[in-house]
Structure 1
Amino acid sequence: MSPKRISVGMVGYKFMGKAHSHAYRDLPMFFPAVARPEMKVICGRDERGVAQAADQLGWDEYVTDWRQLVERDDIDLIDINAPSDAHKEIALAAARAGKHIFCEKPLALTLADSREMLEAVEAAGVKHMVGFNYRFAPAVQLAKKLVSEGRLGRIYHFRAWFLQDWILDPEFPLVWRLQKEIAGSGSHGDLGAHLIDLAHFLIGDMSEVIGMSDTFIKQRPLPTAMTGLSAKGSKDAPLGDVTVDDATLFLSRFDCGALGSFEATRFAAGHRCTNSFEINGSLGSVKFDFERMNELQVYFTSDADDVQGFRRVLATDPAHAYSEAWWPPGHTIGYEHTFIHEMVELMQALEEGRQPVPNFQDGVKCQQVLEAVEKSIEERRWVAVSEL
């Protein structure tokens, strides 16, 4: 029997739109047994830009009004990767229309909005997923396996850091990611959200947090054009206020008793995308750095004294999640593959009639921690996650 076909309508066509489109196109080639996405309609406000994207990325049609898209009878799944301030309205309309939904993170600008989105999809009975793609690197899946199987013993520490430097230049324009009314928050909600989700995935829920943050560059020139993480401006452009954090750090306690530390910044010179974590347990440790995403550093206390130390595990053998679909052992994969694996989970879930993971519940849980950290910064105290 041939795989089920899922007709997709996508809102957004720039950075994440390209990543999602690539995933939809490659998935049937390498994972032929799962439901097959059909790239039906792409949507964007700029007709010229979305028309070009439809042609370049391989979509059958384009529209400029997402309201028209969600009402179409020939669409099964709405993919939302527009800026964060648009997520809620589109998701609520899609749920009312009975569409399954994939939404990029952060789920919404606020915890209240994300909870409203969760309530809407649960009331509508549709399937829903949130875009935490880093879960789907095979090396991260291996770390999860080692923790779940107890091979690291009792977990004592989870430390994570996501370091970038793309806005280090004070003349870099005021892109939408630096405006609170559009992005919700800065490095905290953009980068820190990924760290929080990885912590939830690998270790479990957090009970309390305390944090600090700063905005190092208070004003920036207004942009003349922007795409993804790049932008153009002029020397004579007027200045606008940066209304989000440039860097946020926080500590946490996990329900399991482990201690956590988190750092997210866009001002770490020399770090392009250092998304890393380390887990320390009573029987061993693991270390991961996304800039070397095919590797997991693994240490076991049970090793003989003369070979103690971290070992490099290359997670490309068929023994590792998703790797059997790709290349011979040692032939590495890249960033785009995390999105393909993400869509494998989504398509399998739709075919099996179950909720994919991570879903809107995970998005709400992440938003709850994000806002608990913000509350702790504002009130300069430890905040229990359950307060929110």
Structure 2
Amino acid sequence: MEIGIGLIGAGYMGKLHAVALNAAPAVFNTKLRARLEMICTTTENGAKEKAEQFGFARSTSDWSTLVNDPRVEAIVIASPQTTHREIALEAFKLGKPVLCEKPLGASLADATAMAQAAQASEQVNLVGFNYIRTPATQLAHQLIKEGVIGDITFFRGEHTEDFFANPNASATWRSSGDSNGTMGDLAPHMINCAHVLVGPIRKVSAQIETVFKTRPSECAPNIVEQVTNDDVAQFMCTFENGATGHLLFSRVALGKKMGIIYEIIGTKGALRFDQEDQNTL
């Protein structure tokens, strides 16, 4: 049994989705197999090149062509956040399942409209929160659900990396646009983790900061560009169940490559996880 997949976006995450779609049947022994039907990138030549590289049958530079193609039965959105809403709404209108990369939209309004469209369509849908699926975190979720650590009283989480820690690194798409900053890029994973493991957040007191306010232009290093989004963000919070917490996010944390870390304190015990030692809880 096959399902025709259309992939929009061929950057870092687009490539990973293509690899995962090919590997999933062998890894999980599924009867349903992905047929890599069509890929979409910003140019026709680029799309054709990525189709050959990733194993897609066809390519296009027009996302609408992909979404409306009858042989494309499910959509993976791995394009910039500002494009997510329009693509998802069209796919749901046509009754096609959607897997959308995080953050869901470029704004609260985008995300709300997409969630409402997904609910109305009754189609299978998913946001790409992959880190909550790791075996250790699934075990943490099970232990919490079984009451092993008692009632949760405190949660501390962080997602810290150092890919923008060099102040002389060139400005890129990451250095402009609210949804491309740390709050849009790194924060969603740990906020999702907090929601899954502890529950909804009731209130926050937050701070964001741009550490390196200018960067050399990618096209002309002698020209300086303003950085218009955040490098670091943090907030204290209170969950609906009464637990308190602190969450930290940074793309300029030297030495951190995949610093997804959380500590959960309960009335009977505690849990700690670090993604850089991902098989230990």
The alignment's TM-score, normalised by the length of structure 2, stands at 0.96
Q: 1:326-379: CA deviations, max 9, x gaps?
A: xxxxxxxxxxxxxxxxxxxxxxxxxxxxxxxxxxxxxxxxxxxxxxxxxxxxxx
Residue 273 (structure 2) pairs with residue 295 (structure 1): no
Structure 1 position 206, deviation (Å):
0.9
Equivalent in the alignment of 1:87? 84
Residue 230 (structure 2) pairs with residue 235 (structure 1): no
Residue 275 (structure 2) pairs with residue 280 (structure 1): no
Equivalent in the alignment of 2:237? 252
Q: From 110, 121, 138, give the equivalent of 1:113.
A: 110
CA distance in 2, matches of 1:198, 1:267: 21
Greater shift, 42-51 or 146-155, is seen at: 42-51
What percent of counterpart residues are identical?
Answer: 36
Q: From 199, 206, 223, give the equivalent of 2:194.
A: 199
Structure 1 position 34, deviation (Å):
4.8
CA distance in 2, matches of 1:41, 1:77: 11
CA distance in 1, matches of 2:188, 2:169: 23
Equivalent in the alignment of 1:24? 21
The alignment's TM-score, normalised by the length of structure 1, stands at 0.70
Match of 1:295, SS state, is coil
Equivalent in the alignment of 1:69? 66
- RCO greater where, 1 or 2, for CA within 8 Å and sep 6 or more? 1
Structure 1 unaligned residues grouped into runs of 5+: 225-233, 297-388
Q: 1:50-100: CA deviations, max 9, x gaps?
A: 222222222111111101011111111110000111111111111222211
Equivalent in the alignment of 1:60? 57
Amino acid at match of 1:235: P
Q: 1:89-116: CA deviations, max 9, x gaps?
A: 1111112222111100000011111111
CA distance in 1, matches of 2:89, 2:259: 34
Greater shift, 195-204 or 88-97, is seen at: 88-97
Contact 2:174 2:181 in 1 (8 A): yes
Equivalent in the alignment of 1:360? none
After TM superposition, the structure 1 = structure 2 runs for residues 317-336 of structure 1, keeping only pairs within 5 Å, are: none
Equivalent in the alignment of 1:220? 215
Structure 1 position 185, deviation (Å):
4.8
CA distance in 2, matches of 1:90, 1:177: 22
Residue 91 (structure 2) pairs with residue 97 (structure 1): no
Match of 2:26, SS state, is helix
CA distance in 2, matches of 1:239, 1:36: 48
Amino acid at match of 1:131: G
Structure 2 unaligned residues grouped into runs of 5+: none
Residue 47 (structure 2) pairs with residue 50 (structure 1): yes
CA distance in 2, matches of 1:155, 1:59: 46
